[in-house]
């Protein structure tokens, strides 16, 4: 993958984090009920799955898995770092933020459990 593509994915990941941070104000979604957050998380998971299919179908088969892995990386690691800085450090929750903000923690794994398997399944199509 070209260096510009890495920068673009990193910027996209940071912008997604910022959009969720803004949407979650004032308490980073803590002001909503557990039921509402669970429903939102399920809807978001479905949207991520659909995005994986749409993005990876348009990718050349020989680089599809590589693209899936990079997307997974840039949509988890920067978000994890930003959440750790905001929730763990700024808000003072430390590592306890993993539990308090469980709906964030879930999405540190979702892209890894969605994009590479989708790339693999699309690679099996002939």
The 3-state DSSP class for residue 112 equals: helix
Tell me what pLDDT residue 1 has. 86
DSSP assignment, residue 76?
T
Instruction: Report, as an integer, the average pLDDT of 4-26.
Output: 96
Tell me what pLDDT residue 50 has. 97
- Start-end of H helices in 58-109: 64-74, 77-83, 97-100, 102-105
Share of the chain above pLDDT 70, in %: 98
Residue environment code for 16-48, b if the CB has 16+ CB neighbours within 10 A, otherwise e: bbeebeeebeeebbeeeeeeebeeebeeeeeeb
Confidence class of residue 126 from pLDDT cuts 50, 70 and 90?
Answer: low
Confidence class of residue 13 from pLDDT cuts 50, 70 and 90?
Answer: very high
Tell me what pLDDT residue 67 has. 97
Residue 117 has pLDDT above 70, yes or no: yes
Q: At what angle do helices 3-23 and 64-74 cross, to 10 degrees?
A: 40
Those residues whose C-beta lies under 8 Å from the C-beta of residue 41, and which sit 6 or more positions away, are 103, 106, 107
Tell me what pLDDT residue 124 has. 84
Residue 87 has pLDDT above 70, yes or no: yes
């Amino acid at each position: 993958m070209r260096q510009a593509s890495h920068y673009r994915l990193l910027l996209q990941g940071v912008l997604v984090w910022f959009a969720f941070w803004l949407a979650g104000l004032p308490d980073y979604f803590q002001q909503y009920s557990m039921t509402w957050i669970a429903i939102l998380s399920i809807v978001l998971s479905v949207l991520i799955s659909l995005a994986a299919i749409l993005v990876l179908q348009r990718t050349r088969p020989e680089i599809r898995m590589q693209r899936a892995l990079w997307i997974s990386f840039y949509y988890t690691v920067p978000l994890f770092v930003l959440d750790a800085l905001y929730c763990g450090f700024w808000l003072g929750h430390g590592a306890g933020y993993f539990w308090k903000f469980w709906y964030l923690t879930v999405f540190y794994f979702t892209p890894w459990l969605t994009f590479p398997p989708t790339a693999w399944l699309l690679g099996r199509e002939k």
